[in-house]
Each structure stands twice: as C-alpha cells, then as structure tokens.
Amino acid sequence: MAKNLTTKILEAHLVEGVLKPGTEISITIDHTLLQDATGTMAMLEFIAMGLPRVKVGLAAQYIDHNLLQTDYKNADDHAFLTSAAMKFGVNLSRPGNGVSHQVHLERFGVPGITLLGADSHSPTAAGISVLAIGAGGLDVALAMAGHPFNLPCPKVFGVKLTGKLPDWVSGKDVILEMLRRHTVKGGIGKIIEYYGPGVATLSATDRATIGNMGAELGATSSIFPSDDWTRRFLVSQGRGECWVPLAADEGATYDEYDEIDLSAIEPLIACPSSPDNVVTVREVAGTKVDQVVVGSSVNSSYRDLMTVCRIVEGKRVAPGVHFHVNPGSRQALENVAQDGGVLMLLMAGVSIHQSGCLGCIGMGQAPGTDQVSLRTFPRNFPGRSGTKNDKVYLCSPETAAASGLAGVITDPRDLAKRMQWPGVSNPEPYLLDDSGIVFPLPPEEASVVEIKTGPNILPFPDFEALPDTLRAGVVIKLGDNITTDHIMPAGNKVLPLRSNIPAISEHVFEQVDADFPARALATGNGIVIGGENYGQGSSREHAAIAPRYLGIRVKIVKSFARIHKANLVNFGILPLVFKDQADYELFSQGDQVSFPDIRRLVENGSSDIPLLLNGREIITFLDVSDRQRKELLAGGTLNFVKNKN
C-alpha cells in the first residue's frame, strides 16, 4: 500500500499504539531542542530525574531568547545552562550564535529523524525533512532521559504544490495563504505534508519558513520531502553525508487535501492582531509604517537577509521609519557580510542586531504607542511586541524592505519599475563557523563539572495529588483563541523569571486581568473557563505551571490547543471540555463548583466528568489517555515518574 512520508517516518519511530488518528501513540525521539526561556525549567526537571547523562541521540541547548542582560538573572541562567549542558552531554549554542531553529537546521538536522523541541516553532526543521514537534519542557526533558514521546496520532493533511512562485513572492506568502484559507485552528490535530511538483521549486530555507509558521495553523508538525534541494543545502553546510532521499510513495493518500498553485500566489500580509487575519498587500497599501523588523525565528536565513540587502542597496530607509534586522544565526550574518550585505544595510540606515529572537518574544524592539510595525515574525498576538494595543503586521522580507523604503505598506512588485528582482539563492558553499557551539565533553570530564545556580533559580515546586473530591471556584472566564501570551506574557520583564515559579506566577493573565494572581491564591482551588482553541501559540509550559502554583486545578473550555493541553496534564491540571458547549454560558467568575468523587472517576477511566454548579449537574468531557490519567492522579508527570522509580 502506498504511504505518505509522514506515515513512513512515524512507523519507523513507533514504540506503542497504532497510527489511527486521535488514539495515543508513542514514538522514539532522535534529537531534542531546548532554548533558554524554556530550557532552564526543563533542565531543572531533567536534573530532578537523577540521570548522569542524556540518553537521546543528540540534545541541543540554545541561548537565543533571554539575551538582554538588564540585571543578573539572564546571565545567571546562561551560566546554569552552560554548566548543565557540559555536565549532561548536551550541545550548547552560546548567546549570539543564533536562533535555535535556524542553527539546528544548519548544523544538526538530518532528513527523516524526529526532533522534539521545547518551542512551538521547532517544525522549522521541516526545511530539511525533519519531523519536528513542539512540546512542553517536561516532555522534552523526558525525551532527553530516553523516554518516548506520547501524543495523539495526528491526521495527515496533504497539500499539493504546483507551479512556481513569481518574482517578489516567497515562502512567507505561501504560509500566509495557508493561514488565509485554514485559520489558526485549521491544522489542529494534523501534520501538514507538502508534496507535488511545486515543492522542487522551493529552497530549503523557503520550506523552513513554511514549516515554522505551520505552528500558527495549530499543526502538530509540517514536513517536506528530502530531495535535491535538501541535498544541496546539506552539502553547502559541509554535511552532505547526512542526506538521504525521502518522499511519499506514488499514489499515497491523505486524510485531508488542499492544492496551491504557487504561480497564483501574490504578496500577502497578516493584519493585527492574528496570523490568520490575512489580506493581499495591495488591500492595505499606503498605510503609514513606523517600524520594520526582519528576522528572528523565521525569515532570518541568508536568502531572506540578502534579499533585503539587495532591495535597499544604494537607497535610504524612509524618514521616520526604524528598520531593524535580526539575523537568524551568526553563520547567516557572516555570509551576508562576506557578500557585502552588511555595508548595504548600514548605508541604507538599517540597524543590525545580534542573532537571536529579540522582538519576536518581546525582548526589546517594542513599537511606540499607536505605531504600525511590519515584521517578518511568525506571530502578532495582541501585546506580544511589548506594547499594549499594538499594531503589528506580518509579511515577507520583500514586503518589509519595500515598505521600509517607501514609509508606507508597499507591494514589493511595485519595485519592479525601478530595479530587477534580486533573485537571491543560498550560498554553495556557506562560510562555516562553529565557534559559537560548545560540543559535549567526554563523560569522565563531564562528571566533575559543577552546576552553577544563581539566586533566581529555584527548585521545582511540589504539587499535590488529585483529591478524592474537589471543590473549587471560578477565578476567570475567557473567550475564544486565548493564547499562551495571554496566560503567561513574554517580554524582558517576565522571561527572566522562568526559573523562579513563585515570581513568574505574579504575572499570570497580567494583560487580561491584573488581579488574577491574588484572586487565584485567595480562592484556593481554582477553575479557569475558556472558549475555543484555548492555549494556542507558544509551547511555554509556564502557562500551566504558574496557574497550577496559584491553585488552579481545573480548566473547562470548548476546545484546547494540543501542546497546552499536554502541559496541563503534565502539571496536574484537569483539562475538561464542555460536552454541551451551550453550558459555557452558565458559568460566571466567582461561581463555586464541586466535582464529587473526582479521583475515582479519573482512575476508573470515565470520560464523562459531572460537576455541580448552583445545584445543577453539568457533564464535562475528559479526553486523555490511560497514561495521562495516572499522571493527573499523581498531581503531574514528574510526580508520576518519581513514584514509578
């Protein structure tokens, strides 16, 4: 029977279960990826397991998020992660070496492997046919310890690509077209597999862009074939021996289908404040622009940066526009510099920053009040930039550069009247420099390394097991599409607290309801009520740990985003769904709710979980695996693992 590529890779890594959508499967993990915003807590969780060394094929720790050193906290975290990486056999990418996804694509990724990353944009690795999945830090810590990764078996969404992109259009416009068609909920429970003759016209870095922003569709992952473009990229990185050809069998089938004619794609832009609020650039052309930022976890490759360099060469950024470039890696910047791009940017009035996430995670580069910011970033959720009521648009590097020169949103095709399309290709070969990577020490040397912990790095809190009966109060009621940025904000004030759960918990729902933390603590056992797609966005497990620390024991919503639901289970919060969505209207902040005999119901495998609200019985639904039930009973996954040992 003909098989699609996703099925082939999953079958090769399957440990338990069957590939039937919706049922739980366990797969082996070949590579793990941590970044510093998630990695500090994940490393503490790994240390709690008591292992002398990681048991995964390759583990990598990147320092790319918390780069601003406004006080001791980030520097202390970096010292902790450096010493822990040395001790436990983890590859370490130092501050300024680049964004995890770009560097892993360049220096570590291998076609056909599985990667589990504590960052929702890990599927950037689809650019070289890696099946990469974002997850919470605890799941990644478990994979580092040699455990398989458990997940609901996804559907496979086949997207056939035909034709070839026109000039001035790039991979960013392809994924924006996907978001325009399918919204931020269109990929939930699915792996998106791209196939067809159009794939052969897309470079590895264009594919990486599409894979990266598959997370904005809610997809479990994305995947491309491994073909001659993949081989050329790996050869140019001095890693040609890693290449293997991979593709779907002829006649392979998919659970869902779509088809995109690349030749029909035009420049697109996501308007404030959601990645799926997509229109053509022409529809908003002429809107005044105050800030332009190119780079970060997406659109920060050599091809993207050098395209911007060629567009602005010999010109000046429009008066009043602040234009920033964030290279995705030191390697990308060095290659741009070698080809004269740095001088092109500087002479045009562009500011060049260190390689890192920076403004994408709210670490600087916040726009001013009422200012319009054009970004090549993957997300424009409200307030994510660091500015309340921000006006952030998402676009391609071509659109960003054209708009930065004009001072208003501009269709890059308008530049054809004044210049040739740059037509930039990735280098063959790249100038290579691994000086920013610290490779693992031999075990005998690693064993004597002392782990450094600063005063902001606190032990993981203890969480109680699920009680026999639970009485709890509704602390907050929310609507649809609540993101992890709503729950646990990013930015330079909050991110440095990732290793200090008591301190970071003071910021839960800060942008939505600043009184939430105090009210949750006063309530004791708390409940959060939400709408559709609750917890979309980042993989940050702090959006589960911090509410749990404040006493939240239950979340009842219309539907959950995959990673957030898994994180809730990991930290002992019951993820319940309204069986009748109309029941959502019955709940109000301050209501008292009881769950009679809740422990027995979870233990006995009941899917229907009754609760009492003002004397009225309401049925909610608990859709978790047998393994997850045991973890909920224990008060979280770490408790469950410790109890087993």
Catalytic residue annotation: 64-65, 119, 379, 538, 540
Of the candidates 372, 350, 373, 369, the residue with the CA atom closest to the CA atom of residue 360: 373
Residue whose token pair is 């203890």: 462
Among positive and negative, which fits the CA dihedral 64, 488, 269, 387? negative
Rounded to whole angstroms, how far apart are CA atoms 99 and 600? 46
* Cis peptide upstream of residue 273 (ω within 30 degrees of 0): yes
Q: In the chain, what's the furthest Cα-to-Cα distance?
A: 73
Rounded to whole angstroms, how far apart are CA atoms 502 and 546? 8
Rounded to whole angstroms, how far apart are CA atoms 209 and 449? 38
Rounded to whole angstroms, how far apart are CA atoms 503 and 460? 13
CB neighbourhood size of 160 (10 A): 17
In the beta sheet, which residues pair with residue 155?
Answer: 190
Structure tokens at 507: 């910021």
* Alpha-carbon distances of 341 from 314, 315, 345, 357, 421, rounded to whole Å: 11, 13, 6, 21, 16
Rounded to whole angstroms, how far apart are CA atoms 101 and 117? 9
User: Do the beta carbons of residue 469 and residue 595 sit within 8 Å?
Assistant: yes
Rounded to whole angstroms, how far apart are CA atoms 101 and 213? 12
Structure tokens at 583: 């029941």
* Cis peptide upstream of residue 166 (ω within 30 degrees of 0): no
Amino acid, res. 230: T
Of the candidates 169, 171, 118, 120, the residue with the CA atom closest to the CA atom of residue 141: 118
> For residue 174, which phi and psi values (nearest 5 degrees)?
-65, -45
Q: What is the DSSP letter of 417?
A: G
* Alpha-carbon distances of 638 from 202, 566, 629, rounded to whole Å: 42, 13, 13
Question: HSE of 512 in the Cβ direction (CA atoms, 13 Å)?
Answer: 20
User: Do the beta carbons of residue 298 and residue 332 sit within 8 Å?
Assistant: no
